[in-house]
Each structure stands twice: as structure tokens, then as C-alpha cells.
Copies of this chain bind each other. A is one copy, B any other.
Amino acid sequence: MSSLKEFLMMSEAAGDLDQYIIAAQEPFEDGLRTLVEIPSVSQHAVCKPDVRRCILSAEEYLQILMKGGTKVDTKSRLIGWDNGLPAVYWKCIRHRKWPTIILYNHLDVQPAEQKDGWDTEPFELVILDAPKVGRQYFGRGTTDDKGPALVGLLAIKFALLRGLPLNFVVVWESEEEDGSMHFPEILAQIKDDLQGLSSPSLLISDTIWPAVHVPSVSCGLRGVINFTFELTTAIDDRNRAKGVHSGLCGGVATNPIIRLSHVIAASVDEAGWVAVRGAHDGLAPLPAEALEAFAQTDAITLETFKRDFGLRSCFAGSVPDLLNRIWNLPTFEVTGIIGGVTEPAGAVKTEIPGYARAHVSCRLGPGQDPVQFEQALRKHVARIDSDMVIIRRGGVSRPFAMDPKGPYLQAAAEAFKTGFGYPEVVFDRCGGSIGAVIHFTELLPGLPVVLLGLSLPTHNYHGTNENFDWRQAAGGIRTFVHYFERVANMPTAQK
């Protein structure tokens, strides 16, 4: 058996979990190839048909899943199909009183082009059998988040075959990498359904371990808010930006790149600290327990962190400093800047540009309010350059933090131990942001959220040569199934 569709159709349990996982490898690779080879880049308008195609493929898998083994009434819906980017909503209610696990993933991906430095074509699944890692999968979306989505699908398949007393809901969206701007509209369409679920909890596999062999349950996410700074300093008679000769005007004309540099330099100091007045307002300090538990592991040192991400230098002076900076503190990062003439690389066009633009992405720590942060940033920039135009684009994600002592998070940690057999499991934070988490918890206050990520620092999240591997996928299926079993066995009081 090799195709994912055939595997999902299977109606007899394929032996025990170990045997099931062995049998699931080829189907997993078949499904991953199908999804990765659809360039579902949500930020590129031109990829919109691909994004829809990707969601349609995924819905087909879910429809097949109902046919094999599942004797209950299930429903699958495409949502948001007419407005913006679509999602698939699948519901499998087997008993109205059983606990319900809501599985969320996103099937859209970051932009990628081979010329960015990829060794392979980003939208072609390339499989390597590496000596140490084992079976590796290269391609955009393998680790973020198509691979983890298929891990969840295969775990649900096993749970259904085994008849675990659980209900399942799957929500796969396609706009996460573009800020999940329309996700509230998606949820509004399934609001009644979701509010009627019995003992719901949310399971998301879109976070990253601190190191290989150190599974982590994430207890927090930073928020995110993106800005574009624009400055036009010289215009022609039709009000369009124009450059001026650097000999004729050099020394008196406002140089928009220099002005942007002043604003940027005044926003982050030379030690990497955000220097915007009010930018830390509301921030909840990182709980000592989060750091203590983590400090007992050797999961991260400054050296492994730098090595895993390929950083030539790093602002942090110690591991606690590092964790505080990447998990909790607000950031101000310039993700792109453009102005003037830069090509060819030795360009000497002696012209002061009339326009420049910088793209800024800020993460916010738990307790912080994006609206307040935005006000503080706008005031700060206006103090330095009142001509600068600030545009906020895309979605805004609020930060989020949880108590690791909750039963679902503890269940997740235990499941990781059984699933992977590694010596330690840590409760960490994730410096990233997942917009959907906030939207789900707004709709269902108190909803337990479990961030059971499978990605590794070496998987190059958002970067070139993004990859995933079978060891993480297999361990992930096993972990998810163990987690399902624990949720199924939870005393109702804890739900």
C-alpha cells in the first residue's frame, strides 16, 4: 500500500501502533508530496488558485477518512471559499458526550524560490536518506505546516480504527502565513457548531523544539504586528517620487534611507533592546518556573542555538537572557528595506533616492496589547520624523500564555515521553505567533490549547531548504495517539 488515499480508506486496524506507523510511512510521503508540490503561498495573489487547490486536496483526504472505518455521521465543509482564502472544516461526532479534539493546522506556506539559496526546487518534494537523521523531506511547507498536518490526520485515522472514545474536528486554514486576517470570519461561520462541542480542546502542531531530542510543549506564544514605514522626500511635477543628483543636492536634500536609518536606529539600541518608549507596557515577566524547569535541561546553550540557526553572533549573554529575549520580550525587527539603486552589486548611481521603504515586524510578549503598542510606536516615529508614513498591514495576533500545570499540557508532555522515548520533555514558550489560537479562545473562552510542535531548529522554518523528517513524523503520530488516549481517559472534572 503506498498512496495516502488508499491508506485512509483502510477499514481494518493494521496491527498495533508500531505496525501502523511502519505502514503509514509510504502514505505519509505520498500525501506530503501531493501537498508540498502545490505552491500554496498565501501572500502571493498569483498563488490563490494553488491555495484553493491545496485546500481541496486536503478536504479530499478528510472525506476519504470518513469512508474508511468511520461508521458515524461526519461532515466536511469548505469555508471562506468565496471571500478571501479558504479553509476546510471537518467534523466527526461519534458520541455527543465524548471529548472533542479540535485539530488545527495551516496549509499555506511562506514564499520560496530556488534563487533564494535552495539546493532543490522548493515546490518539489525531495527525499534524502541521510546517515544520521534518517529519511529527510525537503520542500517548502514540509515542516511548516503540511508535514505536521498529515501527522495529525494519520493519528486520527488510527484513533478511529481503534475506536477511541473521542470526537474530532479538523480546521485547516490557508492564510496563517499572511496573518490569518480572515480567520475570525471563518470561525464565525462554524461558531454554533464549535460552541456545541462536548469538552473541546485545541491541538496545534506548528511550534518548534528547542533542540533535537528535546520535545517541548509550548506554554506561550508572542503576538505579532507588522508595519511598513514609507518616506517620500522628492517629487516630480506629477507628485511621483524622484531621485536627485547627489552632487547637486548632496548635503541638503533629505535622504529617505538615512531618515529611515535614524528611525530604525532609535528603535533598537546597539545591544538589541527595543528602545521605543512604551513598547514594554503590559509585559508579564517570564515565570521563574518556566526558566527553572528549562535550566535543568541542556536543551539549549548559546553555542547550540547559534549553530542550529546559523547565526554568526547573538545578543544574549546567557541562556536565561536568551530565553527571555526569544520567548517573552517585544521585538522590533526590520524584515526588509528598499530604496535607491542597488543593482548591479557595484552600482555607483550617484543619486539620492526620493523614496524608501522599510518593513517592520514586532513580536509582543504575553500581557501586551497590540493597539497600545502601535500607538507607542507611532508616537515614537513621529518624534523622530513627522514626514514618515506608517502603514500597518495584515493581521494582528495577540500574545498568549498558559499554565503548564493544566491537565492537557501535562497529558501532552507524558505523550511526548512515550511517543519519542527521549529522556526529557520541556515546557517552553514559542517566540512565534499563531493567530488562530487567539481567535479560537475568544470564541470559546477557557478552551484548553495544546501546542504539540514537531519541528526542529534544523528544519529551517520560513528559510531556505525547509525540511522535515520521518523520525519526527513517526514520533509525532505515536505522540498524538498517546495524547488522544490520555484525553479520552481524563476524568470529566478536568475537562
Q: Mark A113-130, 1 if CB is under 8 A from B, else 0.
A: 000010100000000000
CB distance from A114 to the nearest CB of B (A): 13
Contacts of A339 in B (CB 8 A): 334, 336-337
Partner of A224 from B247, B253, B329, B354 at Cβ < 8 Å:
B247
Contacts of A117 in B (CB 8 A): 236, 240-242
What are the nearest 9 A-B pairs in CB distance? Answer: A247-B432, A336-B340, A265-B265, A261-B264, A251-B325, A336-B342, A261-B261, A257-B334, A250-B331
Docked-complex contact A244 and B111, CB < 8 angstroms: no
Docked-complex contact B310 and A247, CB < 8 angstroms: no
Docked-complex contact B431 and A250, CB < 8 angstroms: yes
Contacts of A349 in B (CB 8 A): 43, 110-111, 335-336, 359, 462
CB distance from A427 to the nearest CB of B (A): 17
Interface core residue of A316, A348, A359, A460 (most chain B CB under 10 Å):
A348
Name 11 A/B residue pairs within 8 A (Cβ), A-sorted.
A208-B248, A233-B312, A236-B464, A245-B463, A253-B311, A335-B347, A336-B347, A337-B356, A338-B342, A348-B359, A350-B361
From A179, which residue of chain B is reached at the shortest CB distance?
Answer: B348
Contacts of A348 in B (CB 8 A): 43, 178-179, 226, 335, 359, 361, 393-394
- Does chain B have a CB within 8 A of A295? no
Contacts of A236 in B (CB 8 A): 117, 310, 463-465
Instruction: Enumerate A383-404 residues with CB–CB distance to B below 8 Å.
Output: 384, 387, 391, 393-394
Which secondary structure dominates chain A's binding surface? loop
Docked-complex contact B337 and A242, CB < 8 angstroms: no
CA separation between A359 and B111, bound complex, in Å? 27
Q: A110-B351, A313-B233 are in contact. Are A246 and B387 (CB under 8 A)?
A: no
Known: A224-B350, A245-B463. 14 other contacts (CB 8 A): A111-B341, A233-B313, A242-B310, A247-B363, A247-B431, A249-B326, A251-B329, A252-B311, A252-B314, A252-B322, A333-B352, A334-B340, A336-B353, A337-B338
User: How many interface residues does A have (CB within 8 Å)?
Assistant: 105
Copies in the complex: 2
From A263, which residue of chain B is reached at the shortest CB distance?
Answer: B261
- Does chain B have a CB within 8 A of A368? no
CA separation between A111 and B347, bound complex, in Å? 10
Instruction: Enumerate A203-243 residues with CB–CB distance to B below 8 Å.
Output: 208, 222, 224, 226, 228, 232-238, 240-243
Contacts of A337 in B (CB 8 A): 257, 337-340, 342, 356
Contacts of A457 in B (CB 8 A): 248
Contacts of A234 in B (CB 8 A): 309-312
Docked-complex contact A433 and B208, CB < 8 angstroms: no
- Does chain B have a CB within 8 A of A272? yes
- Does chain B have a CB within 8 A of A270? yes
Q: A310-B242, A336-B339 are in contact. Are A363 and B257 (CB under 8 A)?
A: no
Q: A117-B242, A246-B331, A457-B248 are in contact. Are A345 and B363 (CB under 8 A)?
A: no
- Does chain B have a CB within 8 A of A255? yes
Instruction: Enumerate A257-308 residues with CB–CB distance to B below 8 Å.
Output: 257-258, 260-262, 264-266, 268, 270, 272, 305
Q: A236-B310, A236-B464 are in contact. Are A264 and B257 (CB under 8 A)?
A: yes
CA separation between A233 and B306, bound complex, in Å? 11
Contacts of A252 in B (CB 8 A): 272, 305, 311, 314-316, 322, 325-326
